[in-house]
Structures are given as structure tokens and as C-alpha cells.
Amino acid sequence: MHALHQVIHTFFNPHSFTLAMPDVWAGFQVNLKMMFIAEALVLVFALMVAIVRGLPGRGAKPLRALAIAYTDFFRGTPIILVTFIVGFGLPGLQLGFISNRSFTVYGIIALTLVYTAYVSEVFRAGIESVHPSQRSAARSLGLSYGQAMRYVVIPQAVRRVIPPLLNDFVGLQKDTALVSVIGVAEAASLAQQFSTQNGDFPSYVVAAVFFILITIPLARFTDHLVAQREQRERAQAF
């Protein structure tokens, strides 16, 4: 009984819990901002990388190689290292517009770099999953390669990859806490400060609750989409 009491006191002490709430919530706004901006950027860049990687012809070979090198590098490097490189390296460059940004901006850049690599692979899988006969049909109408991609292939590819894509976004949302190591004042780091000052840990739990509260709806939404697709495909089979 004593041990249980101890656990509750250390992690869920209501007084400390309430006390930590405003600070951590303020920090969480930063996480939210990083999430939304990084996610928007990732969608755009990842699709670009995926398209470049699929470009046909010998002329596009250097571009394809570049896209592959990019994906390999940023998928293979731990996000914390990318964060250090961006967060400490870019200011060190002393290049006016890029070197005196806030840590939040560097955090967003690091997240975008890494998750663009992951999500571009998701898009690529989606593009490749569209049956070649769809391209033939589009091209045979006289659509150019670009038009066939834009009107026929990519819309179908994107629909298919929404569930795995949202999965990656859950990862991105959590990693907004990780990139705070360079000094972003977000939920996790403010929770840590609070914890050090008060000598207990409810502030961490508060931060965890915030993250979970936004992850769960996204996860349920993903489940819903998957279920909907399965139902649709089953209906087609009959």
C-alpha cells in the first residue's frame, strides 16, 4: 500500500499536477505550432521527392540519384543528430537570414528534413501501387507524363497512402519533444524545468497527457479510414 501511495504521490500528486498545467500547456503550444508547420512542409516536399524519384528517362538520372541520396541520408541519421547539425550548425554558419532563427525554427527544419525522407517513401510506394494500366490509359488519351501523374496517378496514390502517412505524422508529433534538446521551450522541456524546481514528476505526466490527447484522435481517424477502405473493397469483391 505504501508503495502505491508513493507512486501516486510522485507522478499524480494533484496539487503539483494542477500547478504544472499552465506552464506545460504554454510549452505545448510550441509543439502544436511545430507539428502543423512541419507536417504541411513535409507533405509538399515529400511528394516532390517521390515524384523526382520516379521520373523516367536517362536525362533525369542525376535528379533521381539526388532524391535517393537525400532519402538514404535522412532516413539513416538519428533525428537527434540532424537536430544538432541544424540547430548548432546553421547558426555557426553566420549566414544572415538562416543563422539567426529561433530554436523553434531549427526544430521545424530538422523535423521536416527527416520526415520528408520517410514520407517520400510512403508516397513512392503509393505511386508504384497504381496499376501501370492506369498510366497507359491516361497516356493513350494524349495526356503528357506530367498530366497523367497529376490527374490520374497521384490522386489515386495519395488516397491509398493516407493511413501510413498519418502514422508517420504521429511519430513526427512526438518528435517535436525530441528536437527540444537544442533549447526549444516546449512541453517536455518546460515539464523538466518544473520537475527540477519542485522535486517531483507530475509535470511530465501532464506533458504526456497532452501528447496522447492529440495522438488518439489521429489514430482513431486512421483506423476509421482503413476500415472504410476495407469495407469498400469488400463491397467491390461481391
Under the rule (CB under 8 A), what is the footprint of other proteins? Answer: 133-134, 136-144, 147, 151-152, 155-156, 159, 236
Distances (CA, A) of 174 to 31, 82, 88, 209: 9, 16, 21, 12
155 to 1, 19, 100, 129, 133: CA distances (angstroms): 58, 48, 39, 12, 15
Which CB atom, from 94 or from 236, has the smaller least distance to other proteins?
236
Beta carbon nearer to other proteins, 91 or 163: 163
> Which lies closer to other proteins via its Cβ, residue 136 or residue 197?
136
CB of 50 to other proteins, least distance (A): 18
Long-range contacts of 70-73 (CB under 8 A, 24+ apart): 70/116, 70/117, 71/117, 71/120, 71/121, 73/117
CB of 232 to other proteins, least distance (A): 8
What is d(CA 62, CA 65) in angstroms, rounded to the nearest whole number?
5
Q: Which is nearer to other proteins, 78 or 155 (CB)?
A: 155
In whole angstroms, the minimum distance from the beta carbon of 47 to other proteins comes to 16
What is the rounded distance in angstroms from the CA atom of residue 69 to the CA atom of residue 100?
Answer: 28
CB nearer to other proteins: give 99 or 129. Answer: 129
Work out how close the CB of 151 gets to other proteins at its nearest, in angstroms, rounded to a whole number: 6
- Whichever of 159 and 220 has its CB closer to other proteins, that residue is 159
Q: From the CB of 134, what's the least distance to other proteins, in Å? A: 6
Q: Half-sphere exposure of 211 toward its Cβ, with a 13 Å CA cutoff?
A: 22
SS (H, E, C) 78-98: CHHHHHHHHHHHHHHHCCHHH
Smallest gap from residue 155 Cβ to other proteins (A): 5
